[in-house]
């Protein structure tokens, strides 16, 4: 059985494992409100930074207007920004996901990142956190290997992929195709999947559902690899040509490979430029993904962002300027000169006319001594 590399600790970073009172980025300054807009950038489904899929996690005291949430996500320029708000119950949060272009109904790697931040940094005494989302209740747990994320298991249905889709991906044919959370196609081998050079504009037009412009491509792993299958996820429909590591895509194709290999759990690798692993265990109603995370950044957003309300959609305000003075006539010296090849230049009227150069010389005055 292939195995995911083991992490050194549940949440990497210099401050991992510290008590809450030792983390300065969680403390409120004297005389200021306790709730400040913190932000974490977490690389999910990996045990080291600069790999996996980056997601921003922003815990909020209360929901901001959607336009502000979308503007923050667009400014982050990450595949997903996860916003969480406590429901008031211990370990229970509302969760929403935004790409730089739009809000999405489900995102696995940002859910894993949000759960890791809450369990290891915000409420380190908890072992389980439950998120209320548009996709239903999602559960993140701490384990010895890292974290687990339970995602809904979608019913798989056969799909006759159009020939135009094969042409858009640059392949001759598909070994299989089905529809779950996303449209999914299966290739014969790993080399074919890694060599794909898709036409993203064509994918956005051809893949009409279940999620517009979103496609999972998967294949069995080559012999001797430490994983069982590979996949890539293309999502031009939500502004992402290719997502680095996609939890919801793992949850979509893992049951297919469990059934095909007759295994209870499988390990997958997403063959993007950054790459990332996940172990998947299928149950009757869900797919449990086991993965790790690494913290890249801990920071704080300016408090003024929370007061933007709906102004983000308005035009920028120009700085105030002094009132223009009343128009007045300019002196003759500033009169405009005539233009054109035949126009003769006139001397300024405020100065005497200079003597003509070719005229008679000026008289000379000679002083003589009368003695």
Question: What is the domain partition of the chain in residue ranges?
Answer: 1-151+291-313, 154-282
CB-neighbour burial class of residue 136 (10 A; exposed 0-12, middle 13-18, buried 19+):
exposed
| Topology alike, domains 1-151+291-313 and 154-282 | yes
pLDDT tens for the chain, residues 1 to 371: 444 444 334 444 444 444 443 443 344 444 554 457 999 999 999 999 999 999 999 999 999 999 999 999 999 999 999 999 999 999 999 999 999 999 999 999 999 999 999 999 999 999 999 999 999 999 999 999 899 999 999 999 999 999 999 999 999 999 999 999 999 999 999 999 999 999 999 999 999 989 999 999 999 999 999 999 999 999 999 889 999 999 999 999 999 999 999 999 999 999 999 999 999 999 888 999 999 999 999 999 998 887 765 454 556 666 777 677 676 666 665 555 556 666 665 655 555 555 565 566 666 666 666 65
Residue 77, pLDDT score: 95
Q: Which one is catalytic: 61, 80, 145, 173?
A: 80
Both tokens of residue 76? 């982050």
CA distances from 280 to 19, 233, 290, 364, 371 (A): 31, 17, 6, 112, 128
Both tokens of residue 58? 């922003």
Residue 340, pLDDT score: 60
Cα 56–Cα 213–Cα 79 angle in degrees, nearest 5:
10
CA distances from 211 to 35, 166, 203, 215, 289 (A): 36, 18, 12, 8, 22
Between CA 355 and CA 371 the distance in angstroms is 37
Q: Which CATH superfamily is domain 154-282 in?
A: Diaminopimelate Epimerase; Chain A, domain 1 (3.10.310.10)
Residue 296, pLDDT score: 97
Which CATH number is associated with domain 1-151+291-313?
3.10.310.10
Residue 285, pLDDT score: 86
H-type helices in the chain, by residue range?
A: 66-76, 108-117, 163-169, 190-194, 200-206, 247-261
188 catalytic per annotation? no
């Amino acid at each position: 059985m292939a195995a995911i590399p083991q992490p050194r600790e549940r949440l990497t970073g210099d401050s991992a494992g510290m008590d809450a009172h030792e983390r300065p980025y969680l403390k409120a300054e004297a005389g200021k409100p306790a709730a400040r807009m913190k932000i974490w950038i977490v690389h999910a489904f990996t045990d080291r930074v600069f790999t996996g899929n980056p997601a921003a996690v922003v815990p909020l005291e209360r929901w901001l207007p959607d336009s502000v949430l979308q503007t923050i996500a667009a400014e982050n320029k990450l595949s997903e920004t996860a916003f969480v708000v406590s429901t008031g119950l211990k370990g229970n949060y509302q969760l929403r996901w935004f790409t730089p272009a739009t809000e999405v109904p489900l995102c696995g790697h940002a859910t894993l990142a949000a759960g890791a931040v809450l369990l290891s940094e915000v409420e380190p005494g908890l072992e389980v956190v439950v998120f209320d989302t548009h996709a239903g209740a999602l559960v993140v747990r701490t384990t010895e290997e890292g974290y687990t994320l339970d995602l809904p298991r979608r019913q798989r249905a056969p799909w006759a992929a159009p020939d135009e889709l094969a042409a858009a991906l640059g392949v001759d044919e598909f070994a299989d195709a089905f529809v779950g959370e996303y449209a999914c196609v299966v290739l014969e081998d790993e080399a074919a999947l890694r060599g794909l050079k898709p036409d993203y504009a064509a994918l956005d037009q051809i893949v009409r559902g279940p999620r517009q412009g979103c496609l999972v491509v998967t294949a069995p792993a080559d012999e001797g690899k430490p994983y069982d299958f590979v996949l890539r996820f293309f999502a031009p429909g939500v502004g992402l040509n290719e997502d680095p590591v996609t939890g919801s895509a793992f949850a979509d194709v893992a049951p297919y490979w469990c059934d095909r290999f007759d295994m209870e759990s499988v390990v997958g690798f997403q063959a993007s430029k950054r790459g990332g692993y996940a172990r998947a265990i299928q149950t009757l109603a869900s797919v449990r993904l086991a993965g790790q995370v690494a913290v890249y950044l801990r920071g704080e957003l300016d408090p003024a962002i929370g007061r933007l309300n709906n102004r983000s959609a308005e035009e920028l305000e120009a700085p105030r300027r002094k009132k223009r003075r009343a128009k007045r006539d300019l002196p003759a010296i500033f009169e405009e000169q005539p233009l054109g090849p035949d126009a003769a230049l006139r001397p300024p009227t405020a100065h005497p006319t200079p003597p003509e150069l070719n005229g008679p010389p000026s008289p000379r005055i000679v002083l003589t001594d009368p003695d």
